Homo-oligomer: A and B are copies of this chain.
Amino acid sequence: MAKQPETVRFAIMGCADIARKVARAIALAPNATLSAVASRSLQKAQTFAAQNSLPDTVSLYGSYHELLDDPTVDAVYLPLPTSLHVQWAVAAAARRKHVLLEKPAALNTAELDRILEACESNGVQFMDGSMWLHHPRTSHMHQLLSLSHSGSIGNVQFIHSTSTMQTKPGFLESNIRVKAELDGLGALGDLAWYCIGASLWAKGYQLPASVTALPDVTRNAAGVILSITASLHWHQPNQTEATIHCSFLSHTSMDLAISASNGSLHVRDFIIPYREDIASFDFTFGAKFVDLHIGWNVKPEQVNVPNLLPQEALMVQHFATLVAAIRDCGSSPDNKWPEITRKTQLVVDAVNKSLDLGCKPVFL
């Protein structure tokens, strides 16, 4: 794709599987270019470049420090294990690199705050890698939740979401995402990040008053969470309850269902759409029973939202737009993104604390 003149030069720090998807997204985004890739060894970076047919213009580094010394790099995408985020995101910000950080952002809010403080004090943009927020479907759904919109479904009263995936044999003991020393949050970080994020999104990023884990948590031998169910509770100005279910032990699902005073909204692929070029959601508005209660007056209506770029490329494009404005026009970083991340992390922490307390409610 033809690049815009003021393109943002990205580097990828770490060659995780997800980096392949983001490398493609950087190639697709009209205002982004991949300029460097680093891994812990040069050979790994070279293998990644070959496997993903990266052009020769991409610099390859055998250490993250070398990459951060590259003055041509504007922004880094960090798909490293969560336990390494604080070290390398802080180092990147200190070198004035803008930080696109894979989720979960950190092991806890204290670590995240070190990252966000480093970004703020160095004037760089922060964003976490929640791709679904950048899909045009998400904006369309948000209109239905906006009370000022004529077709609004009203006050949100109940939110249910799932993020489950069937893992390959061996995953549950050896994958990075369930290793205590690498991604100690397990499913609570990797999967619940989406459900907590979606619940907050549906509530306009109002933090819940309390969070309660439910008693069905499953852990592997190292104590890492493989499956978790929890509830979030808001009581002002309107009462809302959210339930989330996240598991590495179940069939793949990513349901989001929102019930409001005048309607409801359903989507079953909210994290990764079934298809790259179009995504849909259903809503029901003003449902009543017909006489004798032998049926409904309406059926769910399906809305199809086409997208020219996949959601991860839209994420890169959006991030690069913010970075270019800072770099070229002296704009300030957009605080919306670190705030979303921090609220999500606070709820992750609260779920974890509720588990520690034997599923007692934790008040925020």
Contacts and interface: CB of A to CB of B under 8 A. Distances in A.
A282 to B, nearest CB: 8
Contact of A20 (B153, B247, B257, B292): B292
Contacts of A21: 292-294
A109 interface: no
B251 A284 contact: yes
A168 B341 CA distance: 40
Contacts of A24: 292, 294
A231 B229 contact: yes
Contacts of A233: 214-216
Contacts of A292: 20-21, 24
B255 A260 contact: no
Interface in A297-314: 299-300, 310, 312
A102 interface: no
Contact of A259 (B18, B253, B275): B253
A166 interface: yes
A158 interface: yes
Given A251-B287, A261-B251, A241 B229 contact: yes
A288 B252 contact: yes
Given A215-B233, A239-B216, A296-B274, A252 B160 contact: no
Interface residues of A, number: 67
A23 B41 CA distance: 77
Contact of A231 (B18, B214, B275): B214
B214 A241 contact: yes
A292 B313 CA distance: 13
A268 interface: yes
Contacts of A240: 216
Given A214-B233, A253-B264, A287-B251, A269 B245 contact: no
A79 interface: no
Given A274-B295, A295-B273, A249 B157 contact: yes
Interface string A226-249: 010101010100011101010101
A281 to B, nearest CB: 13
A154 B251 contact: yes
Interface string A27-54: 0000000000000000000000000000
A154 B227 CA distance: 17
A104 B235 CA distance: 29
A296 B275 CA distance: 7
Contacts of A214: 212, 231, 233, 241, 243
B245 A241 contact: yes
Nearest to A156: B250
A225 to B, nearest CB: 13
Q: In the A-B complex, list the 3 residue pairs whose CB atoms are closest, starting with the nearest.
A: A216-B241, A252-B287, A157-B250
Given A166-B261, A215-B233, 8 more contacts: A18-B293, A157-B247, A157-B250, A160-B245, A160-B255, A160-B257, A212-B215, A245-B259
